[in-house]
Structure 1
Amino acid sequence: MVEKTTEDDQNQQASAGEKHKTEVETPDPKRAKVKSETPADNDNEEDKGEESNTRQTTEKGSQESKADAKSENGTAGKSKADTDKDAPASILEKGIIYFFIRGRVDVDKPEEVDDIARSYIILRPIGHDAKLSKPPLADAGNTRILVLPKKVLPSSGRDRFLAFIDKTGASYDEIKGQFLAGGDYETKTKGTRHTPAATPVGEGVYAITTTGRESHLAYILTIPQELGEVQKDLGLKEQGSFIISTKNPEYPAPASARLPKAPEYPKKMHEEFRELRWVPTRPHHLDYANSQILMIGESSGIKKALGVQDDDDGKANKEEPLEEMEKLEEQDLKRMQQLSGDDSASIYADLKAHAKDYPKLQTTF
């Protein structure tokens, strides 16, 4: 569940910048991927209250709302994608994804998951038709920071973890100065305390997809090329995905999951929720600070999220979303290899930061 906001969390702020440009470039052959499965982490009982049965609520609500309202693409009634659970996925958004952790106060180098205060996902969208080419990406001022109070990622359908949007429209300067950097602060009872800098644990490409009834966040890691102890303990995979649903702020959250402030959704967004507690997440839901996002693990990896189906012979049927993600990953691998230095330096260079000023990518505890 969402932990109580700490003094060091309150020091992280971000806002908007300018649009970026990308170029078309043919990628090098894709590197071989190593299959990796991470066992599900144990749930805390307190996380299962309002979050339980969310998938069923979302599916039922989606059907109810589409019966008498137009869908997002403006067509009335139910399409095949609305009624066929196994319909091919559609990509709503794609981009670069970064995974970071931050140690507890005065813990600069976590030695186990319990030493982590919070984990973070940074989403850097790119245009739907854009291709990744010359590094680093220009500053678009559209980066979002998603906070994971549970510290680890959900690995299976039994894992239902609530996250929230901490920053939207962040520029690289704001990410460097207000998110990545650590700092010291004074307290009346314990004197000077130290907030550690954020530490990278991975980078890759992502896509937010819809399969009609559900939305998914799928990713393919580019860095590190081989998962380390830290990545496995956090639930990171070479390829992974989650079902994602957005909470209706009109319904109160459990006391342990309440944020200091509700998201300031416009009227049109409130209308999307209707009477539902949860709706499938859409990219624009992530553009509002304090949006609460339920993440449900998918042990099948990215297959369901990207519309990969098994035919009668048991062979995987590749749909366009999977091919799009694979191409994007190839482009990202080539792009990151063009950035100087090791994996750490490449990640920081991509965010236009100097690696010497921040912790190295962590793969072992």
Structure 2
Amino acid sequence: MAEVLERGELHFFYRPRVERNAPRGDADVQRFMVVLAPDGRRIWRLVFVGAKRMPELARRGRERNWAWVAKVAGDPGDIEMELRGYRYRTKTRGERDQPSARPAGDGEYVLARHGDHTHLAYALARPDPPGDVQRGLGIATQASYVVAVKNPEWPSPRPDAGLGEEQTAFYPRALQEKFRNRRWGEVEPAHLDRDGAELLLVGATEDPEGELGIHLDPAERGAPDAFRALGLDRRDHPVAPLFTGEWA
């Protein structure tokens, strides 16, 4: 059985492209995000996921994908501000509209040590069942991913991958030494508490309980709710993707 390092609520979001207030599919998605809120702590983490979808799981190939911690906050209102829509002006096109983020899934997650690696696993509370939005973003009803954290003292493996040097996380000495000069390390909750932590997600399985021996049932924790947890206004964040799985 895996060792649970952290358990909490997670919330998936996507932000449509500029001027796409009525997106019709994943091609209209500008940013895909996950909010992690660990139990027993007043901390909220906003994680950006590259390729604008979760990696494919093992039965379809062990796909890999980048992710990084964009913001760590002690107040959910600071995360809510990052999810708002806004207008801005450009020199060539005048005013442009950046739509607000849409909630795309609520659930429970665990971060667990399994042998010599760490897993991020989750189970959705809603939508039930997942719809077109979730299929487009790679959000399964349940899933587990091997997750590793990049040593900020190593360069990114490709010029087009990862964050710039000025954006990467700085870890305290004791945490940095755990990398033992390796490019990648096992994720601990303390890594995720730092803006700029760079992660690698590898698709593992749609049966996290069978793989890790850890029970996940978000209904038992009172059905996680992004609107309640983050103070979102339903007038600003369309609810259809969360409740029916339809694009909005």
Question: Scaled by the length of structure 1, what TM-score is found?
Answer: 0.62
1:144 aligns with 2:49: no
* Unaligned segments of structure 1, at least 5 residues: 1-87, 128-139, 308-320, 337-345
Cα distance change of structure 1 residues 125 and 360 upon mapping to structure 2, 3 Å threshold: same
Q: Could you tell me whether the CA contact under 8 Å between 1:155 and 1:299 is conserved in 2?
A: no
Partner amino acid, structure 2, of 1:256 = D
Q: Could you tell me whether the CA contact under 8 Å between 2:103 and 2:237 is conserved in 1?
A: no
Q: Could you tell me whether the CA contact under 8 Å between 2:43 and 2:75 is conserved in 1?
A: yes
1:225-279 deviation digits (Å, cap 9, x = unpaired): 2111111221111111110000111111121124232212111122111121111
1:121-172 deviation digits (Å, cap 9, x = unpaired): 1000003xxxxxxxxxxxx540001101211111224310011000012412
Q: Could you tell me whether the CA contact under 8 Å between 1:96 and 1:123 is conserved in 2?
A: yes
Cα distance change of structure 1 residues 188 and 204 upon mapping to structure 2, 3 Å threshold: same
1:154 aligns with 2:43: no
Rounded to whole Å, the distance in 1 between the matches of 2:119 and 2:106 is 18
Structure of higher CA gyration radius: 1
Pairwise CA distance, 1:300: 4.2
Q: Which residue of 2 aligns with 1:94?
A: 7
Which of 179, 182, 191 aligns to 2:82? It is 179
Instruction: Report how many residues are paired.
Output: 238
Q: Which residue of 2 aligns with 1:200?
A: 103
Pairwise CA distance, 1:222: 0.4
Percent of aligned pairs sharing the same letter: 32
Which of 324, 331, 335 aligns to 2:220? It is 331
1:257 aligns with 2:158: no
Rounded to whole Å, the distance in 1 between the matches of 2:77 and 2:162 is 29
Rounded to whole Å, the distance in 1 between the matches of 2:70 and 2:16 is 17
Rounded to whole Å, the distance in 1 between the matches of 2:142 and 2:35 is 17
Q: Which residue of 2 aligns with 1:287?
A: 193
Cα distance change of structure 1 residues 184 and 141 upon mapping to structure 2, 3 Å threshold: farther
Cα distance change of structure 1 residues 358 and 170 upon mapping to structure 2, 3 Å threshold: farther
Pairwise CA distance, 1:335: 4.6
Rounded to whole Å, the distance in 2 between the matches of 1:141 and 1:184 is 31
Q: Which runs of 4+ in 1 moved over 6 A?
A: none
SS in 1 for 2:160: helix
1:114 aligns with 2:27: yes
Rounded to whole Å, the distance in 2 between the matches of 1:244 and 1:305 is 15
Question: Scaled by the length of structure 2, what TM-score is found?
Answer: 0.89
Moved more, 141-150 or 91-100: 141-150
Q: Could you tell me whether the CA contact under 8 Å between 1:245 and 1:293 is conserved in 2?
A: yes
Q: Which residue of 2 aligns with 1:190?
A: 93
Pairwise CA distance, 1:304: 5.5
Q: CA RMSD in A?
A: 1.7
